[in-house]
Structure 1
């Protein structure tokens, strides 16, 4: 990666940061101008992320190290682009475009500084995916959290404010744990650069290594809170369901940030050496508990927002469980599942608002009561009678059915392919060829059970919403609102059609993560660019 293309690595941070600064100078009454600046920023992010992904998936060697301030690691700030970070950047950019376009219908105008906070959220997310040291990870983590506080409260309302206060309190505690963990690691290892830290860990004395592992454990708790691992996840369904639809749509990637950091640090710092496998059992059993809790929540949820919130926990539990298994073949399928589930849940959060517009709250309660106890006064339909579903409801119903298929993992969409890849590897029919143990069979059963629970819940909700005898009014849906939902679902279809190349990319990503020496050498050997005067004097001396 040479020349100006190398500077694209900083663009996912710089572009939304500049856009956020510009938006502060635009009056709140100029909604169209603010929307155009924000939309242009997100579209540029998609183009940049696609370019970076194509470069990383190409035949060129790994050289995606960007030295900010032109200082070599570990003294300077380092951004590192590899296959995993490029994937997360593109996923974030795609979700941001869909959520932002959806918000332009009305949500961006119900409060102040929506677009500024949205762009700052992207700064925090993209910076966390790219940073190569723990201190700047903390900085970007705080930027992301500060923006998310305002976005969650956007639109006000008592339920949103109450959920927002809980969200802020929990995440402030997570930020404090983050700072404590980083301090312990720096006190024992003397560095916060991830590559330098990975190189130093094998040489740390056993007593100091225990303190370093304690710091890593505290740091891990902060990210497990964000990922939603049980019992640290009670805030998540309420907060996500209370957020406005476009905010919940972009929040779908935030829980995956915790998964990303845990995967990154686990493979880089504890993939080999004396601390190999540190925390794997916690991830495995914590993931199992989260999956069980999320599955129960999905079955118990009557409100669609709660159903989507618990679906986030099911996704997180599945991914944490796979990280605890620490097997390359299973992890490749898990990465595909991460992408598919994030796209689906984001689309589902936005779809929920459109579906619920035509429903009356009292009618929903009555429908649940009738479902439980029956309706003795229900009239039998006369022969020849029928109901014609309006076009809007038909489109919403198709999108709802697609979300149900994806969340439950039914064929033929990408949710099925991702789960099939994971389960086949678990059962020994995939690449590893190892007979499954009793523990693995339990994990397979839980993954299948979570899919069945999602199918039951989505079917029940769909019948109540689209086929109930208590009919509501047909919701008024704008094109600018349904298109983002259809766009995200179309991407899952494209992921299904291109499942072969997608799985190849996931395999390559996991193989590079499994060899931390590639990352370490790339960062430690990255040399600063000579300044113009130094280069000129060298050439003059040579002549």
Structure 2
């Protein structure tokens, strides 16, 4: 990666930071100006992420390494772009664009510094996806969390404030675990650069290796809290369902940050060598418990917000179990599932806010009570039959049906393709004479059950919301609110149409991740720009 394209690696961090700095100097009453600056920055971020993704999907299948300050690793700050980080940058940029446009209808004006915190969140997210060392991962993690605290409380209200306090407390504990884990790893290995750490692992003495394992385990807890692994996940459904709709939409990727870091460190540090397979059993069992808990929560949820929150846990549990199984072919399908489920859940959170405008707060609970006691049945027979559904409800109902199909994993959309890719990879082991293990069979059964549970829950809630609503009120919805939801759902449709190229990209990404030496050598051999007084010589980025 040479020339101007090389400097694009730092752009996903610089653009939102500069936008945030500019927004802080603009008065809060100039909402249109702030919104336009934030929107331009986010659009620019989408373009940059698309260019970086195109570069990574080209013939060269490895990273660009960016040395900040021109200091070589492991002494300087290193940013690393590969297929996985480029994918996550594109995912976060598209979600951010949809959530920001949705918020322009009314949410961005319901609190101070919304756009500043939004851009700061993107800077923390993108930095975490790009950084090549654990210390700066901690820094970007804290930047992201600080912005998410403000966004979680945006819009006020007692329920949101209460859930926000729980969210802040849990994530402060996660940050403390992160700091402790990083300290133990540095005290043992003497480095926090991930590539240098991977290279030093074989030379660490056995007694110190145990301390490093302890540090890695504590560090893992921090990201498992963020990923929502059971029993560390009880805060997530309540917090996400209480957040403002566009905030919940962008929060859909925060749990995937935990998955991303665990995948990165597992493949790089624990794929081979003295710590090969470290933590795999914990991920497998934790993912199993999370998936079961999410399935039960989906079936038990009566409110749409909590249904979406538990769908996040179903997604996290599935991905954690795949990480525990540690099979490259299955992981390729899991990456497609990660992208598809994140788009779907983000769209669902924003759709819920639109749908619930036509309902009373306790409408779903009241509907369940009436159904259980058989009240209101005679009145329903007297209602007028064959009334045409208003256009707004037809569009919302179509979007809701697409969300249901995607969450349940029904054909022909990307949710089905991703699950089919995972299941066929897991079942494919028997084609070469090696039957699937008990863990693989368990995951197969739970993935199918999670789809059935989502279908039942979404069908039940959809009927109550669109076909037998107690109020019959058509919500007032603006075009600027419908477009982001339809945009995210159209991306899942695009994933379905382009499933072949998408799966090839995922396969290449996993193949590169499974060869840690590529990453290590790229970081160690990263080219330093000669100073003016030195002979430039020759080299490549």
Question: Using a 3 Å threshold, how does the CA distance of structure 1 residues 469 and 277 change in structure 2: closer, same or farther?
Answer: closer
**Post-superposition shift, 1:497?**
0.3
d(CA) in 2 for partners of 1:265 and 1:63? 16
Matches within 5 A, 1:134-283: 134-283=134-283
Question: Using a 3 Å threshold, how does the CA distance of structure 1 residues 177 and 469 change in structure 2: closer, same or farther?
Answer: closer
Matches within 5 A, 1:70-469: 70-375=70-375, 378-379=378-379, 381=381, 385-428=385-428, 434-468=434-468
d(CA) in 2 for partners of 1:66 and 1:16? 18
Structure 1 residue ranges (4+ consecutive) displaced by more than 4 angstroms after TM superposition: 380-384, 429-433
d(CA) in 1 for partners of 2:400 and 2:169? 34
Give the 3-state SS of the residue equivalent to 1:361 in structure 2. Answer: coil
d(CA) in 1 for partners of 2:78 and 2:428? 40
d(CA) in 2 for partners of 1:100 and 1:190? 42
d(CA) in 2 for partners of 1:382 and 1:356? 25
**Post-superposition shift, 1:435?**
1.8
**Post-superposition shift, 1:376?**
5.5
Question: Using a 3 Å threshold, how does the CA distance of structure 1 residues 385 and 326 change in structure 2: closer, same or farther?
Answer: closer
d(CA) in 1 for partners of 2:509 and 2:62? 12
**Post-superposition shift, 1:434?**
3.5
Question: Using a 3 Å threshold, how does the CA distance of structure 1 residues 432 and 123 change in structure 2: closer, same or farther?
Answer: farther
d(CA) in 1 for partners of 2:170 and 2:447? 28
Give the 3-state SS of the residue equivalent to 2:67 in structure 1. Answer: strand
**Post-superposition shift, 1:377?**
5.0
Question: Using a 3 Å threshold, how does the CA distance of structure 1 residues 267 and 429 change in structure 2: closer, same or farther?
Answer: closer
**Post-superposition shift, 1:353?**
0.2
Question: Using a 3 Å threshold, how does the CA distance of structure 1 residues 15 and 430 change in structure 2: closer, same or farther?
Answer: farther
Give the 3-state SS of the residue equivalent to 2:66 in structure 1. Answer: strand
Give the 3-state SS of the residue equivalent to 1:534 in structure 2. Answer: coil
In structure 1, the residue matched to 2:513 is 513
Check conservation: 1:424, 1:430, Cα contact below 8 A. Answer: no
Q: Which range moved further: 343-352 or 358-367?
A: 358-367
**Post-superposition shift, 1:314?**
0.3
d(CA) in 2 for partners of 1:371 and 1:226? 37
Check conservation: 2:92, 2:253, Cα contact below 8 A. Answer: yes
Give the 3-state SS of the residue equivalent to 1:156 in structure 2. Answer: coil
**Post-superposition shift, 1:480?**
0.3
Check conservation: 2:63, 2:519, Cα contact below 8 A. Answer: no
d(CA) in 1 for partners of 2:383 and 2:523? 75
Check conservation: 1:134, 1:194, Cα contact below 8 A. Answer: yes
Check conservation: 2:430, 2:436, Cα contact below 8 A. Answer: no
Question: Using a 3 Å threshold, how does the CA distance of structure 1 residues 315 and 15 change in structure 2: closer, same or farther?
Answer: same
Residues 413-469 of structure 1: per-residue CA shift (max 9 Å, x gap): 000000001111111269977321233222211110011000000000000000015
Q: RMSD value over aligned CA atoms?
A: 1.5
Give the 3-state SS of the residue equivalent to 2:78 in structure 1. Answer: strand
d(CA) in 2 for partners of 1:29 and 1:360? 32
**Post-superposition shift, 1:527?**
2.4
d(CA) in 1 for partners of 2:176 and 2:165? 17
d(CA) in 1 for partners of 2:313 and 2:469? 32
Q: Unpaired segments of 5 or more residues in structure 1?
A: none
**Post-superposition shift, 1:4?**
1.2
Check conservation: 1:107, 1:244, Cα contact below 8 A. Answer: yes
Matches within 5 A, 1:22-33: 22-33=22-33
Q: Which range moved further: 288-297 or 385-394?
A: 385-394
Residues 279-311 of structure 1: per-residue CA shift (max 9 Å, x gap): 000000000000000000000000000000000
d(CA) in 1 for partners of 2:249 and 2:266? 28
d(CA) in 1 for partners of 2:510 and 2:467? 44
Residues 308-361 of structure 1: per-residue CA shift (max 9 Å, x gap): 000000000000000000001100000000000000000000000000000123
**Post-superposition shift, 1:363?**
3.6
Question: Using a 3 Å threshold, how does the CA distance of structure 1 residues 332 and 106 change in structure 2: closer, same or farther?
Answer: same
**Post-superposition shift, 1:375?**
2.6
Check conservation: 1:425, 1:432, Cα contact below 8 A. Answer: no
**Post-superposition shift, 1:532?**
2.3
Check conservation: 1:329, 1:431, Cα contact below 8 A. Answer: no
**Post-superposition shift, 1:385?**
3.5
Give the 3-state SS of the residue equivalent to 1:307 in structure 2. Answer: helix
**Post-superposition shift, 1:262?**
0.2
Q: TM-score, normalised by structure 2?
A: 0.97
Q: Find out whether 1:479 has 2:471 as its counterpart.
A: no
Q: Unpaired segments of 5 or more residues in structure 2?
A: none
**Post-superposition shift, 1:381?**
4.3
Q: TM-score, normalised by structure 1?
A: 0.97
Check conservation: 1:294, 1:313, Cα contact below 8 A. Answer: yes
